[in-house]
Structure 1
């Protein structure tokens, strides 16, 4: 099975710390400029998703009791549907709305193109 979204060990460590402080988590990535195109981490349910959002995957993170859903706006998904995404964390300040902002780091998406076989598996 192809992972639509995965995470680095560094991102997993940060997610564990954020889970301890804030409870269950979720990601949402919208389209837009600046931080609007970065993955934003929220307490689960704090960002209201709707019919214009796509649930890409629920991330399993060692040491986190429940999966972390990763949502993307459908318009952004149209640009990213040919890619596998990896949630990473890098030094620097991201958006003030994302939970990691006070930590002096920010989540970042790394991507690679899906192979033809992976694309077929995901999109039937």
Structure 2
């Protein structure tokens, strides 16, 4: 493992040089390609107006998202009612999804405790 550290350091140095050399040109190209999204002039008032528009647009979309949630919930209820018609593949996908959710939860708990498994800091 220790023999790989210089190799890793050289790769990181090489990558940082590429970013240093090409970063500003990438930034300029990115801004040029997306200039139709940029508000001119960029004033504080314009930023506040855009923030309010985003907030109220999100607020207005709540009923649509709620109706979509109700449709998904109805679909899930329908699956539970007709569970005898399920194929083993569907059950397997559901089990894998549940396992993935549990794994992300456990990973989040470990990260939240500072990467300790017991919860005690040494």
Shorter-normalised TM-score: what interval? under 0.3
Report the structure number with the largest CA radius of gyration: 2
Q: Relative contact order (alpha carbons < 8 A, sep ≥ 6): 1 or 2 greater?
A: 1
Task: Identify, as 1 or 2, the structure richer in helix.
Answer: 2
Report the TM-score when normalising by structure 2.
Answer: 0.19
Task: Identify, as 1 or 2, the structure richer in strand.
Answer: 1
